[in-house]
């Protein structure tokens, strides 16, 4: 059984933080990139969207969308509009190829944008696999911009003192542990 003290994501975060503290470019980070690319396993993607209770009429935003698997799955499985935000040109190219292969170009778009500058107000569901400090950077935007009742799901990392409505521990097909956090946005939450 593969169980690390807080999953593989924790090890990645630790390496990232250590490199940054030494003034190194963490994991070969490129200009403007604040989170390394680590794909979410498909079975975890499926559970994230189910946990958010995605339904017709929702708009799913994925911050740091990588290869686009969350937005593609949201469109294919639930028939909803989905937007991924990514800064890495290689991941954007890969995402657009995956969107085309899946035949969901009419529902999905990828925007090259720093996730700290995204207007979250159109989203009813927000997914992310970021780092703890990045989640905390994004949190005020969630509270200010997202409508009450919107759902937020984070893979592996919480949001400090904002207590999740639900926390789930799951294993992927390789038997790695993952933690998912679900929040509902409340009106005036600050």
- Residue ranges per domain, the chain? 7-184
pLDDT on residue 51: 99
Helix axes 69-78, 89-102, angle to 10 degrees: 20
Name the nearest CA neighbour of 29 among 98, 131, 110, 127.
131
When pLDDT is cut at 50, 70 and 90, the band that residue 29 belongs to is very low
Q: Which CATH architecture has domain 7-184?
A: 3-Layer(aba) Sandwich (3.40)
pLDDT on residue 183: 98
Which residues, in sequence order, are CB contacts of 67 under 8 Å at separation 6+?
Answer: 39, 91, 94, 95, 98
Asked if the model's pLDDT at residue 27 lies above 80, the reply is no
Name the nearest CA neighbour of 67 among 49, 88, 51.
88
Which residues, in sequence order, are CB contacts of 170 under 8 Å at separation 6+?
Answer: 43, 44, 47, 177, 178, 179, 180
Rounded to two decimals, the pTM is 0.84
Name the nearest CA neighbour of 65 among 105, 43, 107, 96.
96
Interval 23-38 mean pLDDT: 61
User: What gap in Å lies between CA 98 and CA 184, rounded to an integer?
Assistant: 30
């Amino acid at each position: 059984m593969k169980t690390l003290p807080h999953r593989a994501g924790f090890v990645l975060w630790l390496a990232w933080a250590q490199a940054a503290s030494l003034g190194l470019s963490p994991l070969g980070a490129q200009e403007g990139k604040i989170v390394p690319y680590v794909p979410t396993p498909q079975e975890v993607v499926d559970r994230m969207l189910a946990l958010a209770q995605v339904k017709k009429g929702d708009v799913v935003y994925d911050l740091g969308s990588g290869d686009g698997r969350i937005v593609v799955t949201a469109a294919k499985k639930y028939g909803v509009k989905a937007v991924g935000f990514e800064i890495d040109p290689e991941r954007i190219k890969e995402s657009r190829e995956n969107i085309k292969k899946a035949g969901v170009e009419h529902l999905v778009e990828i925007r090259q944008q720093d996730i700290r500058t995204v207007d979250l107000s159109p989203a009813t569901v927000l997914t992310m696999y970021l780092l703890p400090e990045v989640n905390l950077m994004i949190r005020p935007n969630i509270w200010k911009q997202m409508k009450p009742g919107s759902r937020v799901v984070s893979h592996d990392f919480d949001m400090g003192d904002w207590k999740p409505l639900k926390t789930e521990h799951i294993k992927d097909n390789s038997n790695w542990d993952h933690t998912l956090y679900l929040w509902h946005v409340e009106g005036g939450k600050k």
